[in-house]
Structure 1
Amino acid sequence: MTNQIAIVMGIILTAAIAIDVALFGSEHMVFLGKKLFELIDWVAFWR
């Protein structure tokens, strides 16, 4: 992955998160953060 592609993907991801928070609030991000932490913990267990 080149630096240019990584920067564009980062900008798109940041914009998507900002739009989600602006339209629906930050509760979704807390829920997704908790689920992501559980997923990382589960994957680390199976590693």
Structure 2
Amino acid sequence: MTNKIAIGLGLMIAFALILDYALQDWEGSIFVAQKLADLIEWMAFWR
């Protein structure tokens, strides 16, 4: 991954978080965080 790609991805993620805050008051980010926590718990079961 080049620096240009890394900066571009970082800016896109930051822009998506800003939009989520402005338009949905963190609802999308909270949903994704909860699903990630469920995935981590499910993966720990298989360890």
TM range (shorter): 0.7 to 0.9
Q: Is structure 2 residue 45 aligned with structure 1 residue 32?
A: no
Note the 1:1-47 alignment, pairs <5 A. Answer: 1-47=1-47
Q: Cα RMSD between the aligned structures?
A: 1.6
Mind listing any 5+ residue stretches in structure 1 that lack a counterpart?
Answer: none
Identity over aligned pairs, percent: 47
Flag structure 2 segments of 5+ consecutive residues without an equivalent. none
* TM-score (normalised: structure 2): 0.72
What CA distance in whole angstroms lies between the structure 1 residues aligned with 2:45 and 2:15? Answer: 33
Matches of 2:10 and 2:17, distance apart in 1:
11
Aligned-partner Cα distance in 1 for 2:16–2:28? 13
Paired residues, number: 47
